[in-house]
Amino acid sequence: MSIESTHCVDINAMLPRDSRAAMRQAVAAPMCDMRGSAILATAAQVKARIAQGAQICNLTVGDFSPQHFHIPAALTARIQQMLAEGQTNYPPADGVPELKSAIVGLYKRELGLDYGSDSVCVGSGARPPIYAAWRLFTRPGDKTLSFLPMWNVGYYAHFCQTDHTFLPTSAEHNFFPTVDQVAQHLPGTRLIVMNTPLNPTGTAIDRDVLQGIAQALVDENRGRQARGDAPCMMIFDQVYWRLTRPGVTHHSPVRLVPECAPYVVHVDAISKWFTGTGLRVGWGVMPPYVQAKMKGLIGHMGAWAPRPEQLAVAWLLDQPTLVRAYLDGLQDQIGARLDKLFSAVQDMRAQGLPVSAIRPQGAIYMSFHVDLIGRGFDTNEQIRTWLLDTVGLAVVPFQAFDMPEDSGWFRMSVGAVGLDELDSALERLRTALRTRQG
């Protein structure tokens, strides 16, 4: 290879001095107004503090630290085997047949849903099917609907320029909407987004509420079909469904109300329940009449999961005994952390300290309430900063999940901490709260 000259161009000297003005001229709306993740911004601040030597219990990012959590050993071995066999070329845009078939078997065996392989579209994690569903079902100005708080919905609504409504919820209802709330907003709505177990709250939707919402969706779409109008579709994000706590049952809207099957896209991934966030294997399970379009969109994005991981996951999903043994162990690890957090906060509350929590029902999260608004603090951000600086405890305010009010609610995530870290952090929290009370 030859080059014309040994002269090296100083790129920085060629760039505009006003980079912000240049960005706004070059980048198309609405992308020039795109916001970065508030969760990742908080996590970056925490990491910087830790790098400077601060003692911080980091309960911010919804990820798993390999120091504490490992993917199934059988999955590691199978991925290595697939690599050794040379399974490194492009996979089909909607997933290798083996994985699609294994997903069909999983849903039939565990959820009682009999889909075919032509209903499955594999992507690099859960995000591509979620984003693809937004793009497939909405146009700028369309009405879309979700509830507060919930992960990332505001960003997708911004990308797609939809007229989005966030339904307010309350701790009394586990931060889920009521059936009446949803039914009142369905007319004219093109897409509704639901997530259970819920990120950020760690709560699970009540069976009767989900059944009522699914029936309201069917009733709404029957009227639209009679008028020849486009249906309202549902993204049902169940990424955490295999991490429900003992005594909590996960439900699918399609199992509860089969007539809603033409309108529901289930979104799933191994990211959480195999602690494989970096493996990037997820999927959507949907009505087959939309699968080809999602396949095309994910294919054009190049957002397919790597072939070795797909083949390895396909093999493991077809070993239900291995999967169950792994999940039992994982649940024990997660449960030990969540139970410790909840018990300690409840004990502090019983001592008259201004904190409370909702008992975790699924996922790796706990809703944590600090009742100090109007008692020395005006905002969640002030409380968050106090917890970080004074207690060495890093949490995420619900504003990061589009809930606007300063309510004192925060997400605690246990995927990157050890039990000993929690013990010392909780004792520091107890001491700091007692000091504030004098």
pLDDT in tens, 348-407: 999 999 999 999 999 999 999 999 999 999 999 999 999 999 999 999 999 999 999 999
**Amino acid identity at 222:** R
The CATH number of the domain holding residue 423 is 3.90.1150.10
* Domain match, 62 and 89 both: no
pLDDT value of residue 216: 98
Q: Do residues 401 and 151 lie in contact, with contact meaning Cβ atoms separated by under 8 Å?
A: yes
Residue 96 predicted with pLDDT over 60: yes
Within 8 A by CB and 6+ apart from 159, the residues are 30, 31, 34, 131, 134
Convert the pLDDT of each residue in 36-60 to its tens digit.
777 778 878 878 888 888 889 999 9
| CA angle 348–349–355, rounded 5-degree value | 95
* Domain match, 309 and 333 both: no
In a domain, residue 23? The reply is: no
Judged by DSSP in three states, 107 sits in: helix
* Domain match, 343 and 279 both: no
Within 8 A by CB and 6+ apart from 153, the residues are 146, 164, 166, 193, 402
For residues 310 and 306, give the distance between their C-alpha atoms in angstroms, rounded to a whole number. 6
* Domain match, 113 and 252 both: yes
* Domain match, 193 and 256 both: yes
* Domain match, 110 and 245 both: yes
pLDDT value of residue 28: 83
In a domain, residue 27? The reply is: no
* Domain match, 42 and 100 both: no
Crossing angle of the two packed helices 153-160 and 127-137, in degrees rounded to 10:
40
**Amino acid identity at 435:** T
Domain end (from 303, 318, 333): 318
The CATH number of the domain holding residue 94 is 3.40.640.10
Number of structural domains, the chain?
Answer: 2
For residue 172, give its domain range: 73-318
Which residue(s) pair with 283 in the sheet? 122, 268
Q: Do residues 72 and 275 lie in contact, with contact meaning Cβ atoms separated by under 8 Å?
A: no
- The verdict on whether omega for the bond into residue 129 sits within 30 degrees of 0, i.e. cis, is no
* Domain match, 295 and 422 both: no
Torsion of CA 413, 178, 166, 218, to 10 degrees: 110
In a domain, residue 243? The reply is: yes
Structure tokens at 416: 């990157």
In a domain, residue 28? The reply is: no
Domain end (from 276, 296, 318): 318
* Domain match, 83 and 228 both: yes
In 175-323, beta strands by DSSP E: 189-195, 233-237, 264-269, 282-285
For residues 252 and 138, give the distance between their C-alpha atoms in angstroms, rounded to a whole number. 23
**pLDDT band at residue 34 using 50, 70 and 90 as cut-offs:** confident
In a domain, residue 14? The reply is: no
Q: Do residues 394 and 228 lie in contact, with contact meaning Cβ atoms separated by under 8 Å?
A: no
pLDDT > 90 in the chain, percent: 86
Residue 6 predicted with pLDDT over 90: no
* Domain match, 272 and 133 both: yes
* Domain match, 107 and 62 both: no
Structure tokens at 341: 């957090």
In a domain, residue 6? The reply is: no
**pLDDT band at residue 305 using 50, 70 and 90 as cut-offs:** very high
* Domain match, 246 and 305 both: yes
Domain end (from 302, 318, 334): 318
Within 8 A by CB and 6+ apart from 378, the residues are 406
Instruction: Tell me what the mean pLDDT of segment 84-95 comes to.
Output: 97
